[in-house]
Structure 1
């Protein structure tokens, strides 16, 4: 990590060009004397600026991680987000086992969905039962895709028990149900603060006829429109045990990823879910076992 420079202020777009020492100094508001103390320790022990600052108690490991994130354009959660959205491990714990596993799935998804001369497809995340972790997984997969760059949209199509608006702390006054019922003309797709390129389309008010709304041609038209506007579209769904919603959503997306939870789902339930999509044009990309 480079030592800080005595330069003029720079805008946010230039943060990745600044030495990490500058970023840590500004984040911790270090005085000239404190910076010199860090530099002296750095020269004496042959370590990086960030390591020296942490050792001297003038910075925290999070300060160093945040500085690296700014340099490499890698979104990380701030303190408020950590309290408000503890499920977003890809932002909170980027080097955890869970985050690494989600990035591994991201690699498989992008390889299998990205085909030359093929129309872009949305990805439905489906599972047999409630509590399998679809919301958690879909949210973190969307964050991981956004961290690649480009534009990613997460759609909450669980019209029976939606939670994505709670995870991302966005308004749920209007959303997918409002669009499909023709009850709103306002902008319902919301950007996620602190995660450039990530957007959320929440469920909106829970309707009395969720399956009928999804089965209407309007939903398929909406999916095609969204895939044309975004690089990645991830769609959360209702549990398979609650009805046919997930299968209908998957068919209209064109691709699906099956999620199952270790020590919770029965093999028969998983088989029934997969069998219910037999004969449809949906591409099953694979299955993910949720161990958490």
Structure 2
């Protein structure tokens, strides 16, 4: 029966696209082959599109339709619990929320102020620890990948990294291992749930993060990465670790400063701006997290 239904869906629902609504609903397990037969009959009797007929029969929900439409338009997102990623990935799990709309606005500003000027790399630098830089870097990377931009997220916080936890990375080696000549770019993880997103974790926690980040091999690695990716976002060590943050920002040429509402002192933000300017890099913008 399944083989027959695959053929039936391919001929009656969509003779051109391999990504028809019916086929995707079957692949996702939202409907069975028997359900699809019932939908096809209702579709013919009522003159409805496949998705509308399935909704009328109450075999699927509006959320199911939204999910398959996102796949058709190459705009993937996840349902709660899907993918075993952290629920911090609001751009994946809550793509139509106000919070994610604000991320898209930020993405547009970064595109206009930085990417469209020919730059590819941007450091995400919080003023202090616990101000949401890793959260912002992860979600900003997702919304860039949803644009169809080949996006690489790098965790350069070699003291207290978080991206391997957020994305549930299985690869243990990462940036520190590349900088120590213990690994190559092959340790970059392509995140299958997102069309154009790759993540490089921090890797082995080193005893000498400052020295590693200042090695010439970091510049060589970034040069190689810019030839393969359209956008590279680096989750940096907080600016309170001055030498680490400056080394990371210098490799990018630009930085986005992250602070926290009612938590970060304005004088500290000004100091971070000065530190970034000393590297010759540019402050592309500032983000205030409210949580």
TM over 0.5: yes
Cα distance change of structure 1 residues 277 and 84 upon mapping to structure 2, 3 Å threshold: closer
**2:39–2:54 contact (8 Å) kept in structure 1:** no
Cα distance change of structure 1 residues 185 and 94 upon mapping to structure 2, 3 Å threshold: closer
Q: Structure 1 segments of 4 or more deviating over 6 A?
A: none
Question: Matched residues in 1 for 2:65 and 2:151: separation?
Answer: 27
Please state whether the residue corresponding to 1:111 is helix, strand or coil.
Answer: helix
User: Are residue 262 (structure 1) and residue 264 (structure 2) matched?
Assistant: no
**2:155–2:235 contact (8 Å) kept in structure 1:** yes
User: Are residue 8 (structure 1) and residue 10 (structure 2) matched?
Assistant: yes
Question: Matched residues in 1 for 2:52 and 2:261: separation?
Answer: 40
- Tell me what 1:32 maps to: 37
Question: Matched residues in 2 for 1:186 and 1:90: separation?
Answer: 26
- Tell me what 1:58 maps to: 59
Question: Matched residues in 1 for 2:252 and 2:264: separation?
Answer: 24
Residue 248 of structure 1 and its aligned partner are, at CA, apart by 1.9
Q: Which moved more, 1:127-136 or 1:30-39?
A: 30-39
Question: Matched residues in 1 for 2:210 and 2:177: separation?
Answer: 14
- Tell me what 2:3 maps to: none
**2:155–2:163 contact (8 Å) kept in structure 1:** yes
Please state whether the residue corresponding to 1:204 is helix, strand or coil.
Answer: coil
Unaligned runs of 5+ in 1: none
Residue 163 of structure 1 and its aligned partner are, at CA, apart by 0.9
Please give the TM-score of this superposition, normalised by the length of structure 2: 0.86
Please state whether the residue corresponding to 1:258 is helix, strand or coil.
Answer: strand
Q: Deviations over 1:85-136 (max 9, x none)?
A: 21111111110011111111111111122346x4x33100001111111111
Write out aligned runs for 1:131-210 (5 A). Answer: 131-185=130-184, 187-210=186-209
Question: Matched residues in 2 for 1:199 and 1:185: separation?
Answer: 15
Q: Which moved more, 1:208-217 or 1:25-34?
A: 25-34
Cα distance change of structure 1 residues 23 and 190 upon mapping to structure 2, 3 Å threshold: closer
Please state whether the residue corresponding to 2:234 is helix, strand or coil.
Answer: strand
Write out aligned runs for 1:95-134 (5 A). Answer: 95-115=96-116, 118=118, 120-134=119-133
Question: Matched residues in 1 for 2:128 and 2:193: separation?
Answer: 32
Cα distance change of structure 1 residues 114 and 157 upon mapping to structure 2, 3 Å threshold: same
Residue 80 of structure 1 and its aligned partner are, at CA, apart by 4.7
Question: Matched residues in 2 for 1:141 and 1:31: separation?
Answer: 38
Unaligned runs of 5+ in 2: 1-6
Residue 274 of structure 1 and its aligned partner are, at CA, apart by 1.1
Cα distance change of structure 1 residues 56 and 156 upon mapping to structure 2, 3 Å threshold: same
User: Are residue 280 (structure 1) and residue 282 (structure 2) matched?
Assistant: no
Aligned pairs, how many? 279
Please state whether the residue corresponding to 2:285 is helix, strand or coil.
Answer: strand
Cα distance change of structure 1 residues 108 and 15 upon mapping to structure 2, 3 Å threshold: farther
Cα distance change of structure 1 residues 278 and 170 upon mapping to structure 2, 3 Å threshold: same
Question: Matched residues in 1 for 2:101 and 2:128: separation?
Answer: 25
RMSD, matched Cα: 2.7
Please give the TM-score of this superposition, normalised by the length of structure 1: 0.85
Question: Matched residues in 2 for 1:235 and 1:69: separation?
Answer: 27
Question: Matched residues in 2 for 1:284 and 1:85: separation?
Answer: 29
